[in-house]
Amino acid sequence: MSAFGTSVKQPRGFRSGTFNTTSTSYVTALSISGAGRLAFLYGSTSQYNYMRVRITIDGVVVINDAYVSGDSSNSGAYLAPDGVFQYNSTSRPYVPLDIQFKQSLLIEVYSASSSYNCFAKFGWEA
């Protein structure tokens, strides 16, 4: 009986976080060692700015230079499963991500202008 109890996996916990930057070169927004799943990534910036996002999974860049533009009516967007940021609307509703990683996850962002702040929000299970 004790062998059965020790082989039970611990439940994965959901976590979320945020990151702000005015850096004009890539900076680390989130770095995770170990296995898990990226559930969502939201990016926003001011009206006259844009931010870029790079995602590396298990040492391989899988999304490079995803683009979020500041807009007076849509100040932020969610990363879609196809690797493109899309604004949430009735015609293009939010679709959750299910990006699995076995060893590591790295999310990097930068702002087009040091005069404007970029904001990233993310959720993951580990």
Give 62-76 pLDDT, tens digit per residue. Answer: 888 777 766 555 567
The answer to whether 42 touches 55, Cβ cutoff 8 Å, is no
Assess if residue 7 is contained within a domain.
Answer: no
* Predicted local confidence at residue 75, as pLDDT: 61
Select the more confidently predicted residue: 90 or 105.
105
Q: Confirm whether 6 is domain-assigned.
A: no
* 100 located within any domain: yes
Question: Count of domains in the chain?
Answer: 1
- Weakest mean pLDDT among 20-24, 78-82, 108-112, 116-120: 78-82
* Domain of residue 64, residue span: 13-125
2 part of a folded domain: no
Distance in angstroms (rounded) separating the CA atoms of residues 95 and 67? 17
User: Among candidates 15, 74, 83, which has minimal Cα distance to 54?
Assistant: 83
Amino acid at 93: P
Q: Is residue 116 part of a domain?
A: yes
Report if residue 3 sits inside a domain. no
Has residue 49 been placed in a domain? yes
Domain assignment of residue 121, yes or no:
yes
What CATH number corresponds to the domain at position 85? 2.60.120.1390
Comparison of pLDDT for 107 and 117, the residue scoring more? 107
* More confident call, 55 vs 86: 55
